[in-house]
Amino acid sequence: MAMSRFRALISSSNFKSPLISPPFQSSPIRRFSSSQFESVGFIGLGNMGFRMAQNLMKAGYKLTVHDINCNVMKTFSEMGALTKETPSEVAEASDVVITMLPSSSHVLDVYNGPNGLLKGGNFLRPRLLIDSSTIDPQTSRKISAAVSNCILKDKKDLWENPVMLDAPVSGGVLAAEGGTLTFMAAKLCNNLAMAVSMLGVSEALALGQSLGITASTLTKIFNSSSARCWSSDSYNPVPGVMEGVPSSRNYGGGFASKLMAKDLNLASASAKDIGRECPLTSKAQEIYTKICEEGHEFEDFSCVFRHYYSGKDEV
């Protein structure tokens, strides 16, 4: 998480909460300054959260963390962060709390569980709660409503109530490590497009190989013409074509296929809720479910090139 982006997120005088509730009315403008958030809590130290929290520490923020993984908690303690056994203890020590969790059920538990962020009832210390998890809109709205009904324990700078931001991220582990994540409020739509794009690029590259065109040659053609996209020029799925991406590490250390399947399930459910047909969503959902069922759920989602399309490594 780039600190410049973090400061921009909380200090922009024109920033509006990206969480829109029916009938699509935006929340009142709330002005933030980085000096208000010197103590930062971070909950969820997985592949993404670990790197985001680490960048916050490097930038000099006082960090308090929580995760169910004792080993990662020990690592952050050795780096100088405060560690807490429960989310509620993180809330008591923080001006702002960031959550980065795998699913809606995890987010609900961290917020509303017996030892959750909202354990204190109607009184909260954190002024700002930022959820960077990718979850369904209904859960985000439910949590936002609960937070908005709370009152700050320590009122200052005209703050009366805490604010919850729905702020999932895009860019994956590489961007989290490099501090170049993009924050958004439309993550399900973004990941749907990303999944379909990866499938299209993988299908075309595998077809090209079968027709006698190397993946490197075809990638150069894509990236010099109308087929150019993130899946071809920045996250190529063919092992041996591009360095520094999961396909060059046997599909390790990226965005797990099980997470992509989860996001596609959420996108599909959201489409059904409003009565919209999304055939590409359904097909992508089917493919990534199959990939996971075949034992590749922890491999990066670009592994569809190898495991679904039977694509070959670049020699």
What are the catalytic residues?
187
Q: Closest by alpha carbon to 35, among 122, 95, 119, 124? A: 95
Question: Of 259, 76, 296, nearest to 170 (Cα)?
Answer: 259
The three-state secondary structure class of 136 is: coil
Q: Which residue in 144, 264, 291 sits closest to 272, CA to CA?
A: 264
CA–CA gap between residue 209 and residue 191 (Å, rounded): 27
The Cα-based distances of 128 to 92, 107, 285 in angstroms read 13, 16, 34
Element (H, E) at 271: helix 257-273
305: number of CA atoms within 13 Å, CB side?
35
Q: How far apart are CA 43 and CA 64, in angstroms?
A: 9
Sign of CA dihedral 299, 304, 306, 310: positive
